[in-house]
Structures are given as C-alpha cells and as structure tokens.
Chains A and B, each alone.
Chain A
Amino acid sequence: SAVISQKPSRDICQRGTSLTIQCQVDSQVTMMFWYRQQPGQSLTLIATANQGSEATYESGFVIDKFPISRPNLTFSTLTVSNMSPEDSSIYLCSVVWRDRVLEDTQYFGPGTRLTVL
C-alpha cells in the first residue's frame, strides 16, 4: 500500500487562528480524502480533494471553513480556519489504493491531533 505522512502530528492553537495540515503520499493516487474524528467519535468525511479542481465537500462542511488544496497526485493540504474549541479533533487524510485488480482500499495517514484553546 501507499505510505502516507501528515504534518504536523499534533498542535495546540488559539481560537480565531488557522492551521494548515499537510498530507504527503509516496506514490501517485487519484483519490484523496479528508476526515475529522471528534473526541470519542467515529470518522466523518469532510471532503474529497480533487487534483486540479475545487474539493467536493460533504454536507455540513464548507470551503470557507475548511479550504483544501490538491496541487498534484501526491500532496494535499487542509486548512482549519478561524478555529474554535469545537474544532478540536483528529484530522486524517486517506487515499484509495488498488491492492489488486478490482480491489481498492482506503488507507489512512497517522492523523493530526488538534487542540483549540
């Protein structure tokens, strides 16, 4: 499978500020996603990061709050803007990788643990 890294691994931020999270993959991938995991909860899909075009956001998430860039097939960023304590979560990127013919699987990065004070 692809190797996925994220930076930073964790951060503590003040409310009202913004944080940009990077996701780097060691191979070219077509599909890349961003998820949020609130404390003690399951994962919620924020958006699909589309290479060369605007991201596709899920219901409840907007570009002004979570702008996403995908300049190429190995890299994406997610910005959490104008943060509030409610944004304290783990943010994870994932990619779809073809394990074998007709068998695709999502693999996840290690996550970025964000605390907003």
Chain B
Amino acid sequence: GDSVTQMEGPVTLSEEAFLTINCTYTATGYPSLFWYVQYPGEGLQLLLKATKADDKGSNKGFEATYRKETTSFHLEKGSVQVSDSAVYFCALTPTGTASKLTFGTGTRLQVTL
C-alpha cells in the first residue's frame, strides 16, 4: 500500500537557518503530495501541495518539489523564524482521489533565537 516516510525529529534550528525536512513516498502512479503544518494547540493547515511531477509547491517562504525519479517531496525554507516552530506532516493521496490521505509520522521543528 501507499506510505510516506519523513525524517525523524525533533529538528532544532537557530532563527534564520536553512531548513530541510526530508520526505519520500511509496505509491503507484502519480499521487498528489502535500505538506501540512500543525502549530502548537491547533489543527492541521495545508502548507503547500504539488499534483504532478516536477511541480513546485510554495507558500510562506516554504517550497517543495515533486520528484518522481527519487519519489521525494522535501520541504525547504531559506530562513526560518521562531514562528515556524510546529509539527510538519508530509502526506499523499492516490491518483484521482483526495479521499485516501496517507500521512507521514510528522517532524517537529523547534526554532530558537
């Protein structure tokens, strides 16, 4: 079945550092890929998405590129802020449906001054 693998956390960075959170997936066909973010005490928010190979999703300074050849969707940000401290979930849905959302385990990011 489909699966998503994320790097283990927590990730601790200083403000203005470069962020990479690795995400790889296993799925047939061309799934849609997502990054969701959960700020402390809140629900999940969609951060960005990509629906086909080589697409780049971007939002709030975060980017991720859909790499079919490496089955990856790594999340990056050039300069993190304390307000980016949250748990980040990589997820996918199979080709043609948004109903079967498969999540990674989540990666906690802590940004310090």
Which residues of A pack against B, CB within 8 Å? 1, 6, 31, 33, 41-43, 45, 48, 90, 92, 94, 96, 103-111, 113
Contacts and interface: CB of A to CB of B under 8 A. Distances in A.
Given A42-B103, A106-B93, A108-B36, A96 B44 contact: no
Contacts, number: 50
Given A42-B105, A42-B106, A111-B43, A105 B49 contact: yes
Interface of B: 32, 34, 36, 41-46, 49, 51, 89, 93, 97-99, 101, 103-106
Main DSSP-derived SS at the A contact region: strand
A13 to B, nearest CB: 19
Given A31-B99, A48-B99, A96-B98, A110 B105 contact: no
Contacts of B98: 31, 96, 104-106
